[in-house]
Amino acid sequence: MTESTQNVHVHRHGAVGHLSLNRPKAIHSLTLDMCEAMIAALVEWKDDDSIRAVIVDHAEGRGFCAGGDVTLLRKSALEDEGASGRHFFDVEYKLNHLMFTYPKPIVAFMDGITMGGGVGISQPAKYRVATENTKFAMPETGIGLICDVGGGWYLSRLRGRLGQFLGLTGARLDGAECLAVGLATHYLPHERLSEAKARIISHPEDIEGTLEGQSFAPPPARISGNLDLIDRLFASNSLEDIIAALEADGGDWAAKELKTLRTKSPSACKNVLKQLELGAACETFAENMAMELRGASRAITRHDFAEGVRALLVDKDNNPQWQPATPEEVTEEMVESLYAPLPADQEWKPL
């Protein structure tokens, strides 16, 4: 058994391909090997007429996928000027794009923690199943990164200013909230997942009917009560304006979100606002991913990424020293340079 198949179980059940993440100690965070194994299986099944659908889930543990291998990315930034990190992003984004354009239905089970890279392999799926365990977030501004893996496309296409709010604050949504805002297509209780998967395997031609039949009325979505606040307070593409609006509001919700926002990398926050602006203007998902490769591959070589990962995962002091330390010190030139074209041989291309 290879390293990649230890970390991803690749199965076939009759007419259904099955990719099951199997790196539970790291909450199934994606490694290069895992991305390559998933690509290989999906490419093989794509042209196999006997495969009608694909299931993506996790083998065990408390989360679907907590993200990408950020310790590898930090090591790359410190040791090889980001070259191996850029290669990881290139392959991961090829996987994201392959899933986004896949000709057969993919069913992603977002049961548990679904963050960063986990968002990247669930949002392209035609069917996205949330449960009472789902914790969805794009928390990259807390480690000096952008909301990559397609965040520029998905977040910018959510209603109102919800995408900007999620991208800046890293706010966590539960399963009911994911369904309410369109990040999930179905809501199933965890206890019904095994039955749902078995029925999909038995009847791959009627995934919609299976998921509807197993679906359950979710509890009220808490985010719904805050959407008007989000639209008003996060209305600007200027980070300084958003902070000023939160300061001026005076309400408890605004105060809580302001406190959260002040813990994030000012550079990353401005980079994410620009990313969503650029992503909204992209006509194709491939165009978005090329933009994100430019941004992410450069972001990991800048100070705040290594410092953010240090504070969160290495020293675990949760006290990152951001540089620049304030939004006002982050210039438009710094942001624009993140997304400037790469040398031709480094630009991202789909498979």
CATH of the domain at 67: 3.90.226.10
What per-residue confidence (pLDDT) applies to 71?
86
Per-residue tens of pLDDT for the chain, all 351 residues:
444 568 999 999 999 999 999 999 999 999 999 999 999 999 999 999 999 999 999 998 789 999 998 888 999 989 999 999 999 999 999 999 999 999 999 999 999 999 999 999 999 999 999 999 999 999 999 999 999 999 999 999 999 999 999 999 999 999 999 999 999 999 999 999 999 999 999 999 999 999 999 998 999 999 999 999 999 999 999 999 999 999 999 999 999 999 999 999 999 999 999 999 999 999 999 999 999 999 999 999 999 999 999 999 999 999 999 999 999 999 999 999 999 999 999 999 999
* 342 occurs within a structural domain: yes
To the query of whether residue 148 is one of the catalytic residues in this protein, the response is yes
Is residue 140 among the annotated active site residues?
A: yes
Distance CA 171, CA 275 (A): 18
Cis geometry, peptide bond prior to residue 324 (ω within 30 degrees of 0): yes
Choosing from 63, 67, 116, 117, the catalytic residue is: 117
Q: 21: which residues sit within 8 A by CB, 6+ positions away? A: 7, 8, 28, 30, 34, 56, 57, 58, 59, 64, 65
Q: Does 142 map to a domain?
A: yes
| Domains in the chain, number | 1
Assigned domain for 310 exists: yes
Say which residues have a Cβ less than 8 Å from residue 301's Cβ, sequence separation at least 6. 77, 81, 82
Cα 40 to Cα 25: distance, rounded to the nearest angstrom: 24
Q: Please calculate the CA angle 7-291-350 and round it to the nearest 5 degrees.
A: 55
pLDDT at residue 4, rounded to an integer: 52
Residue 313 lies in a domain: yes
Determine the structural domain holding residue 30 and report its residue range: 3-346
Among residues 30, 146, 141, 144, the alpha carbon closest in space to that of 88 is found at: 30
Strand, coil or helix: what is 114?
strand
Output the CA torsion 289→9→177→146 (10° steps): -30
- Do the domain assignments include residue 159? yes
Buried b (16+ CB within 10 A) or exposed e, 311-346: bbeeeeeeebebebeebeebeeeebeebbeeeeeee
- Of 69, 148, 174, 292, the active-site residue reads 148
Residues in the chain: 351
From the candidates 36, 140, 177, 257, give the one annotated as an active-site residue.
140
The reply to whether 339 falls in a domain is yes
How many Cβ atoms sit within 10 Å of the Cβ of residue 256? 12
Cα distance between residue 232 and residue 285, in whole Å:
28
Examine residue 280 and state whether it is found in any structural domain, yes or no.
Answer: yes
Catalytic one among 68, 82, 142, 279? 68
On whether residue 351 sits in a domain, the answer given is: no
Between CA 246 and CA 248 the distance in angstroms is 6
